[in-house]
Each structure stands twice: as structure tokens, then as C-alpha cells.
Amino acid sequence: MRNMPIVELIRLEEAPLGSFGVLRMNKEVVCVTLEPPDKLNAQDVSSIPAQQYLCARVDSPRFGNTFQVQDVPGRTRVLFHSGNTVEDTRGCVLLGTSYGMLGQERGVLGSRNAFNLFMENLSGVDGFHLTILERY
């Protein structure tokens, strides 16, 4: 069993179309992130409040093996998963290799590759502490 990694989601931009950031593991950027914009923590449509959380490995019926952010106040099923635009987030964290445009919408690209790298980096890990920071 590997040691629990240090995982940080650092938000760099808050826009009406989403919250854009980077995900670091053990102080190294591993991917970019997309969450919905801040809508006061409303279920399925808001970014996660910036603070510390415990994340646990789960088997999601829709997304398969992933990690769930535990104990988000008033929220359930907050996951890390692949997707490209804010409509794909459902209040979760999308992972990508870069930002870009998908038609008229800004989002994350290379999401499956980024998600696979995220899961590969967490191979043998059942949980981790996540710190969400806002730097905008």
C-alpha cells in the first residue's frame, strides 16, 4: 500500500461558464480541472466549497472506478470523472490535459487521458486528502 498522496485542486479562474483550475499531486501539476461556477454549493450545479476533504475510492455505476469527495456539505456523489464541458460536470470535477474550445463552449480537452493518468497515479491508493484552494 502506497502512502497517501498530497492532492490539491487550485482554482485559477472563476467564470460564468465554469471554475477552471489545476490538479497537483505531491506538488506536481498532473492535469487541468473544470467544475461548474460557484452557485452557493447547490447540488449538481455548483463548484465544491474551497476547503479540505477526504476522498475515497468508489465504484460508480456511471463512471466506474473513481474517487468521491466525501462530506461536501449538503451534497452527495461528488466525483472525479472525465467530460469536456460544464454540462458534463453535474457538480463534479472534470479532468483534462488542456483547456480549449468545443464548438462555442470552453472546456477541457483530453479528458479520458487525464482521468486515466489520475487513476494510474492513485493505483493502490484507497483514499487521499484533497485541499481546494482559490487563487483568482
Name the grid cell of 66. Answer: 473513481
Q: Does residue 1 form part of some domain? A: no
In a domain, 23, yes or no: yes
Residue 10 covered by a domain: yes
Domain of 13? 6-134
d(CA 65, CA 119) in angstroms, rounded, equals 9
pTM, full prediction: 0.96
Mean pLDDT of each 10-residue bin along the chain, 136 residues long: 84 94 97 97 95 98 97 96 96 98 95 98 96 94
Report the alpha-carbon distance of residue 87 to residue 93 in Å, rounded. Answer: 11
* Secondary structure (3-state) at 131: strand
In a domain, 41, yes or no: yes
Distance CA 11, CA 52 (A): 14
Q: What is the CATH number of the domain that holds 75?
A: 2.40.440
pLDDT tens-place string over residues 74-91: 999 999 999 999 999 999
Count how many domains the chain has. 1
